[in-house]
Amino acid sequence: MNENGGLKLNLNKVNLVLTAGLPSQLPGILRTNMPRIAMCGRSNVGKSSLINKLLSRKSLARVSAEPGKTITVNCYDVDGKMYLVDLPGYGYAKRSFDERNKWKKLVDKYFSLDGPGLYLQLVDLKVGLTKDDKDMISFLDGSGLPFAIVATKSDKVNATEREKNLKALENDETVPEDAEIIPFSAKTGAGAGEIWRIISEFVEFNTNAN
C-alpha cells in the first residue's frame, strides 16, 4: 500500500511556510483553496510528533518536553498539494489569562479561514477526554467541520487498557456515532497508514472539487 494513502507526494518537498502568532498573520501567504489538515488538541498530546511521523521526519515540527511554550499556528506546505497545520495546544494550566486570550483569538481566526479544512482532534489514549477536549469536539461537531479523532500515545497502554479506553472514547456522549477514531503511536508508527488514508481522501475530494 502507498504509505500516503493513495496520494502521490514528494515528502522531500515539505516546508514550513507560515508561523502565525497573531490573527492578522492568517491566512498570510496560504493559498486558501489548498486543503489544510490541522492538528488540534491539548498541549503535550502529541500534535508535533504526529506531523513529524506523517512526514517521516525526526524534528521538522518542534517536539517539546515543556508544554505550552509557544502560541503559534505553524503551517507546512506538503509538496504543493496540502498544508499540515500545527495548531497551538490548549489546556496548559500555567497559562495566564492574556495567553489564553491570545490562543482563543488566534485559533478562532484559523477556524474562520475560507477553503477546505480537515481537523485531526488528538486525544491521549491513556488519559482519555479532558473537559477541554470535550469542548473542542462539541465545537467541531456543532460547527459542521470535518474531523477525525486520533487517540495518541497508544504505545503507552497495554491491549486491555487500549480496548477499554477506545470503547470509552467511542461511547462518550460528546463523540458523534460516525466519528472515526484512530489509535496512533508516534513511537511505533502504528496508525499512521490509517491517518494518511483519511487525509488523502479529504485532499483528493477537495482537490477535484476546485
Ligand X SMILES: Nc1nc2c(ncn2[C@@H]2O[C@H](COP(=O)(O)OP(=O)(O)O)[C@@H](O)[C@H]2O)c(=O)[nH]1
Interface with Mg ion (CB under 5 A): 47-48
Indicate whether 49 belongs to the interface with ligand X (CB under 6 A).
yes
3-state DSSP assignment of residue 8: coil
Bridge partners for 117 per DSSP: 36
Element (H, E) at 73: strand 73-78
- How do 117-124 and 82-86 pair as beta strands? unpaired
Binding mask of the shown chain, residues 146 to 175, with x at each position contacting ligand X by CB under 6 A: ------xx-xx-------------------
Q: Do 155 and 190 form a contact (C-beta atoms < 8 A)? A: yes
CA distance 181 to 174: 13
Please, which residue, 71 or 199, has the CB nearer to Mg ion? 71
* Among 44-52, 99-107, 171-179, 200-208, the segment contacting ligand X (CB under 6 A): 44-52
Which residues contact residue 101 at a Cβ distance below 8 angstroms, ignoring those fewer than 6 apart? none
Minimum CB distance to ligand X, residue 156 (Å): 5
Please, which residue, 37 or 206, has the CB nearer to ligand X? 37
Of the candidates 101, 167, 187, 205, which one interacts with ligand X according to CB under 6 A? 187
Residues that bind ligand X (CB under 6 A): 41, 43-49, 63-65, 67, 89, 152-153, 155-156, 185-187
